[in-house]
């Protein structure tokens, strides 16, 4: 019997009780016309807000030209997309202005692409014996839902029942540089980590971690791969989270906000020696680099290139941090971790679960989601204005008080 709460949908999600009909900027309306502030932003895919006019215009223009060619043929937006990505993100990687780009569709595909590239680079360039390559990953990671990527996870719900998993990965505690150094051997081709772990609850590693990783991997000729699918493109107040520590990774995985919440588009950007191993026939995707995705991504990169969104994230982030610190001081939150306009907040244990808090927020007009039992993530569009931010934080306080009383 099908689960009737999901209708014809397989029960992969347990959505909050709202059916969204319309959205604009930071606002969302349900089918009854009730208004909400979006504090999830499609897990940071909506950094520029819902239906940003520039992004919508770019999509509409492209919809009248050509939407799909497949990579069997070039189209007139493809090189522009790659060039723009190299201009905006290339200099933040060791590839610099010589960076290469592999266009894909989803975050998971971008990470899979990076894994394929570093393995082949390991065999072709580094001389690692065939089928021996290992990639070091972090505990608590989230890189996507493919069988390889859930194999990297230590989340029992994500993994259980889906094995056997791909070999060739070694997990170390996130933020522990000594553990990474101990895990390195002759077969190590890459370290792959999120600069800030999003799904784990916005976990920021110690300040010496990423610079230490950079030094270690450079000395040992190991590729440093940053999964910036969630942390990248403005969320942390910088274009990439790695900039927080002045670290340039060799490869960066991007997704989510690259498509402005309009189209699925992802990419791997970085060192040409590594991405250059993906020669014809070794990798691809029917929709990867399609004209519609490229057109919207170019417009999204244009918005980022102004620096305005990063600046606003940094500015609003200060308000977010101050207000959350007050909630911690009041004992309503056990902990609040913020970076840029991005926060993971842990409820004081006696208040209830993250899910209960999300339901209380929903009743009062704010959309957010729990990421662990006691943790919810706050990631509004970077375009949010201060009165909206203050209003949502008032609602957060009210909801926490309601759970306590
Ligand atoms: N990497 C990170 C860091 C992510 O947060 C996510 C999505 N939450 C992914 C990869 C996977 O992206 P997608 O859902 O687009 O496959």
Of the listed 81, 209, 250, 256, which one is catalytic?
256
Q: In a mutational test of the pocket of ligand 1, which residue from 45, 236, 256 has the highest number of ligand atoms less than 8 Å from its CB?
A: 256
Residue 393 Cα, ligand 1 centroid: separation in angstroms?
Answer: 26
User: If one looks up domain 4-51+308-404 in CATH, what number appears?
Assistant: 3.90.1150.10
Atom in ligand 1 nearest the alpha carbon of residue 106: 15
**ipTM score of the complex?**
0.99
List ligand 1's pocket residues with C-beta within 6 A.
Answer: 43, 106-108, 111, 142-144, 194, 198-199, 227, 229-230, 255
Per-residue pLDDT, 6: 73
DSSP codes, 158-175: HHTT--PPPS-EEEE-TT
* Sequence ranges of the domains in the chain: 4-51+308-404, 65-305
Angstrom CA distances, 206 to 176, 212, 265, 338, stand at: 9, 10, 31, 13
Of the listed 227, 250, 346, 370, which one is catalytic?
227
CA distance 27 to 317: 19
Residue 150 Cα, ligand 1 centroid: separation in angstroms?
Answer: 11
Residue 255 Cα, ligand 1 centroid: separation in angstroms?
Answer: 7
Residue 402 Cα, ligand 1 centroid: separation in angstroms?
Answer: 33
Per-residue pLDDT, 5: 63
Task: DSSP letter for 340, please.
Answer: S
Closest residue by Cα to atom 1, ligand 1, is 143
Q: Do domains 4-51+308-404 and 65-305 have the same CATH topology?
A: no
Pairing of strands 266-270, 369-372: unpaired
Of the listed 142, 174, 209, 287, which one is catalytic?
142
Q: Which residues of 376-401 are buried (b: 16+ CB within 10 A; e: fewer)?
A: bbbbbbbbbeeebbebbbebbbebbe
What topology is assigned to 65-305 in CATH? Answer: 3.40.640
Residue 235 Cα, ligand 1 centroid: separation in angstroms?
Answer: 14
120 given a catalytic annotation: no
186 given a catalytic annotation: no
Per-residue pLDDT, 23: 98
CA distance 300 to 381: 14
CA distance 192 to 146: 16
CA distance 271 to 98: 7
CA distance 347 to 353: 7
DSSP codes, 61-96: HHHTT-S---TTS--TTHHHHHHHHHHHTGGGSTTG
256 given a catalytic annotation: yes
Pairing of strands 343-347, 35-38: unpaired
Show the low-confidence residues of the chain (pLDDT under 70): 1-5
Q: In a mutational test of the pocket of ligand 1, which residue from 254, 255, 342 has the highest number of ligand atoms less than 8 Å from its CB?
A: 255
Residue 67 Cα, ligand 1 centroid: separation in angstroms?
Answer: 24
């Amino acid at each position: 019997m099908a689960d009737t709460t999901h209708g014809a949908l397989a029960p992969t999600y347990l959505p909050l009780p709202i059916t969204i009909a319309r959205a604009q900027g930071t606002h969302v309306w349900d089918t009854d016309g009730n208004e909400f502030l979006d504090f999830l932003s499609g897990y940071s895919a909506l950094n520029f807000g819902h239906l940003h006019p520039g992004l919508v215009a770019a999509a509409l223009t492209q919809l009248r030209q050509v939407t799909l060619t497949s990579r069997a043929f070039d189209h007139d937006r493809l090189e522009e997309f790659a060039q723009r990505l190299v201009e905006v993100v290339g200099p933040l990687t060791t590839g610099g202005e010589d960076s290469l780009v592999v266009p894909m569709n989803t975050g998971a595909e971008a990470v899979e692409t990076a894994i394929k590239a570093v393995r082949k680079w390991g065999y072709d360039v580094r001389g690692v014996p065939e089928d021996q390559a290992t990639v070091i990953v972090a505990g608590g990671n989230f890189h996507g839902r493919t069988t390889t990527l859930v194999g990297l996870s230590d989340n029992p719900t994500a993994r259980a029942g889906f094995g056997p998993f791909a070999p060739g990965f070694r997990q170390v505690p996130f933020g522990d540089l000594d553990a990474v150094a101990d895990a390195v051997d002759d077969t190590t081709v890459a370290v792959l980590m999120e600069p800030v772990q999003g799904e784990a609850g916005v976990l920021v590693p110690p300040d010496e971690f990423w610079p230490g990783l950079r030094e270690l991997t450079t000395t040992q000729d190991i590729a440093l791969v940053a999964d910036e699918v969630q942390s990248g493109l403005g969320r942390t107040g910088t274009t990439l989270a790695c900039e927080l520590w002045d670290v340039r990774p060799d490869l960066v995985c991007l997704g989510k906000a690259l498509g402005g919440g309009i189209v699925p588009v992802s990419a791997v950007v970085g060192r040409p020696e590594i991405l250059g191993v993906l020669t014809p026939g070794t990798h691809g995707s029917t929709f990867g680099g399609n004209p519609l995705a490229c057109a919207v991504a170019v417009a999204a990169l244009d918005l980022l290139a102004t620096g305005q969104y990063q600046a606003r994230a940094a500015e609003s982030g200060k308000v977010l941090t101050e207000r959350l610190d007050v909630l911690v001081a009041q004992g309503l939150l056990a902990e609040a971790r913020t970076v840029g306009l991005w926060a993971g907040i842990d409820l004081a244990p006696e208040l209830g679960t993250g899910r209960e808090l999300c339901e209380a927020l929903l009743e009062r007009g704010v959309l957010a989601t729990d990421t662990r039992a006691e943790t919810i993530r706050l990631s509004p569009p970077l375009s949010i204005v201060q009165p909206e931010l203050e209003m949502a934080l008032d609602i957060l306080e009210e909801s926490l008080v309601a759970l306590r009383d």
